[in-house]
Amino acid sequence: MEYKVIFHIDENAKWPMVLGNIENLLNAAGTDHIIAEVLANGEAVLKYKDTAEDSGGSAAAMISLHEKGVTFAACQNAMRANGLTKDELLGFVTPVPAGVMELVKRQAQGYGYIKP
Amino acid sequence: MEYKVIFHIDENAKWPMVLGNIENLLNAAGTDHIIAEVLANGEAVLKYKDTAEDSGGSAAAMISLHEKGVTFAACQNAMRANGLTKDELLGFVTPVPAGVMELVKRQAQGYGYIKP
Amino acid sequence: MEYKVIFHIDENAKWPMVLGNIENLLNAAGTDHIIAEVLANGEAVLKYKDTAEDSGGSAAAMISLHEKGVTFAACQNAMRANGLTKDELLGFVTPVPAGVMELVKRQAQGYGYIKP
């Protein structure tokens, strides 16, 4: 069986929960295949900034998940509102024009939605 | 392509995020058609009160979105719990018997769900 | 018509809202049939502990809902993280290996998702 899911995060304080949830999901999947994407908007895009002092350990967890196939998207409206440029993003993060449009499209494609 | 989505809000503090998210969604849609509904329950129904001093600017944003086709629904259980009558609602807000039933029915109709 | 929905809770403070929402949902359903499940992960699993002093009234509300057919699931990763064993759970609570996997599978089965 294959499952698709998009995780939504818009508060920085939720990053440890989100990243832990996805780690648990991948561990639980067993022979099931999981396509998992993280969509950050609001202030939560700031943890995508490519500097150790800003990431507080979350960058390492993201890199580990990305190596297991998890994708990470950043809302460009939120990037503008938080003064974050594309060049400042961790290399594996994909900017999308509007985070909520991504959430709507993915659900229309059959993705489940989880907001930790 | 046409997309349908219901936004769920149950905390007053989230109104600016919800309304900003929907504005961004409509701006991003381009030639895609978006059917967007907001369902408020819990204390969040209080921002539907039709008085400038209570709305803190959110009423103007709601009116602007409503003119672009966004619909707004209020949970009647939450209205009762918060002492809010139908007559006090902004004119374009539709009361529904139970907010969670609306969320369940809309998703069964193919709406995506977003909880900012 | 039959509707299926999974409620997600990961914060203890949200239990009164979640349980009230489900009560309202069942009251509103009328002739519609509702299949409702609660999935708790994070610290929220602690309210599944079978002792009156810890439950703060939520156990009674859960029992009442369970008697009306609502099911309750506990994430085992969260149980481990919060030092909670199977023996300590309220008798009608079902442990699941990973809460997020349950959320993903249920949505793939056509369940709506609500995060109060």
- Dihedral angle, C-alpha A44, A77, A52, A20, nearest 10 °: 30
Give the mean model confidence (pLDDT) for residues C53-80: 89
Question: C1 pLDDT band (50/70/90 cuts)?
Answer: confident
Report the pLDDT value the prediction gives residue A55, as an integer from 0 to 100.
Answer: 58
Interval B6-35: pLDDT, tens? 999 999 999 999 999 999 999 999 888 999
B3, B110, B115 member nearest A105 (Cβ): B3
Report the pLDDT value the prediction gives residue A89, as an integer from 0 to 100.
Answer: 95
For residues B98 and C25, what is the distance between their CA atoms, to the nearest angstrom?
6
Question: In terms of DSSP H, where are the helices of chain C?
Answer: 15-29, 52-55, 58-67, 76-81, 99-108
Report the pLDDT value the prediction gives residue A17, as an integer from 0 to 100.
Answer: 96
Burial class (CB in 10 A: 0-12, 13-18, 19+), A87: exposed
Which among C18, C24, C103, C107 is the top mutation candidate for probing chain B, defined by the most B β-carbons within 10 Å of its own β-carbon?
C24
Minimum Cα–Cα distance from A105: chain B residue: B3
Find out whether C47 and C9 touch, Cβ atoms under 8 Å.
Answer: no
**Which chain B residues have any C-beta within 8 angstroms of a chain A C-beta?**
1, 3, 5, 17, 21-22, 24-25, 27-29, 34, 110, 112-116
Question: C52 pLDDT band (50/70/90 cuts)?
Answer: low
Give the mean model confidence (pLDDT) for residues C31-52: 91
∠B94-B97-B103 over CA atoms, to 5°?
80
Minimum Cα–Cα distance from A21: chain C residue: C100
Q: Residue C46 is inside which H or E element, if any?
A: none
More confident residue, C58 or C45: C45
How high does pLDDT run on average in chain B?
94
Report the pLDDT value the prediction gives residue B30, as an integer from 0 to 100.
Answer: 83
Report the pLDDT value the prediction gives residue B51, as an integer from 0 to 100.
Answer: 72
CB-CB under 8 Å, B114 with A103? yes
CB-CB under 8 Å, C115 with B8? yes
Report the pLDDT value the prediction gives residue B32, as an integer from 0 to 100.
Answer: 83
Q: What percent of chain B has pLDDT over 90?
A: 86
For residues B42 and B82, what is the distance between their CA atoms, to the nearest angstrom?
8
More confident residue, C68 or C56: C68
Residue whose entry in the numeric block shows the structure tokens 């949200």 = C14
Question: In this complex, which chains have at least 3 CB pairs below 8 Å with chain C?
Answer: A, B
Give contacts of A27 with chain C, Cβ < 8 Å.
98
Q: What percent of chain B has pLDDT over 70?
A: 96
Report the pLDDT value the prediction gives residue C54, as an integer from 0 to 100.
Answer: 55
Residue whose entry in the numeric block shows the structure tokens 């509103």 = C28
Bridge partners of C89?
A: C49
A17, A27, A115 member nearest C42 (Cβ): A17
Give contacts of B13 with chain C, Cβ < 8 Å.
none
CB-CB under 8 Å, A112 with C113? yes
Write the DSSP assignment of A11-75 as a string of letters: -GGGHHHHHHHHHHHHHHHTTSEEEEEEEE-GGGGGGGBS-HHHHTTHHHHHHHHHHTT-EEEEE
- Position C78 pLDDT exceeds 60: yes
Give contacts of B21 with chain A, Cβ < 8 Å.
41, 99-100
Q: Strand B93-96 and strand A93-96: pairing?
A: unpaired
**pLDDT beneath 50, residues of chain A:** none
Give contacts of B3 with chain A, Cβ < 8 Å.
104-105, 108
Report the pLDDT value the prediction gives residue C30, as an integer from 0 to 100.
Answer: 83
Interval B72-109: pLDDT, tens? 999 999 999 999 999 999 999 999 999 999 999 999 99
Report the pLDDT value the prediction gives residue B31, as an integer from 0 to 100.
Answer: 82
Helix, strand, coil distribution of chain B in percent, nearest 5 = 50, 25, 25
- Position B57 pLDDT exceeds 80: no
Give contacts of C15 with chain B, Cβ < 8 Å.
none
Report the pLDDT value the prediction gives residue B79, as an integer from 0 to 100.
Answer: 98
